[in-house]
Amino acid sequence: MAYYAYVRVSTREQNIDRQLIALKPYKIPKRNIYCDYQSGKDFNRPAYQRLLKRLKPGDCLIVKSIDRLGRNYKDILFEWQRITKEIGSDILVLDMDLLDTREKKGSLTGMLIADMVLQIMAYFAQTERESIRQRQAEGIAAAKAKGKHIGRNPISNPEGFETVCALCYGGELTTREAAKLLSMSHTTFYRRFIAWEENLSVSEGRLSETALI
């Protein structure tokens, strides 16, 4: 059995250290760790596609949480079936003990429980993304209704800051594009964006990672 890991963040400015630290106990060779700097809205990611070509029956793929794999409900279920059924590899999700197919081979009850948990987690991953999009739309509509414009504010965050952060979080903008849009330096925007992500994770009570990294 060969162990592989998949790591994902939305932009190159984001840090992958937390995911790598979680993988350390498994001593996975560096060549077997695949990383994409891309949104989780679909599976058209170069590193992920290369990983699929290397997986073989009996291998094991490790991810920190299910939302590192993806955020689209149907796509997550499809990819899970492709890896575990078609390729014949196992999957271990570190943040959810029940999502470990290594322990459930040959156990009909164990497989049923894993499939049910997977569907619930995939559902929450997608609804979280849809909730973010809804807040984006509502924030933009509210700003337009008040006649407010995005601009520089030397004391607090600029108008539209949270909406632009949500666009970055959803993979619609890079942090450099966002900083330019808000007339902020990239360093200042990135520091405040990280704080915004952490606050979002706490307030939403995420079921997967405690913060987007």
The one-letter code for the residue type at 62 is I
Nearest to 59 by CA among 132, 138, 6: 6
Residue 110, class by beta-carbon neighbours within 10 Å (0-12 exposed, 13-18 middle, 19+ buried)? middle
Please identify which of the residues 10, 39, 89, 208 carries the catalytic annotation: 10
Residue 175, class by beta-carbon neighbours within 10 Å (0-12 exposed, 13-18 middle, 19+ buried)? buried
Greatest Cα pair distance in the chain:
62
Give the span between the Cα atoms of 138 and 140, in whole angstroms. 6
Q: Could you report how far apart the first and last alpha carbons of the chain are, in Å?
A: 29
**Cβ distance 10 to 38 under 8 Å?**
yes
Q: Scanning the structure block, which residue is given the tokens 């307030």?
A: 203
Is 10 part of the annotated catalytic residue set? yes
* Cα 200 to Cα 92, 125, 128, distances in angstroms: 26, 14, 11
Give the span between the Cα atoms of 56 and 181, in whole angstroms. 45
Q: Indicate which residues carry an active-site annotation.
A: 10
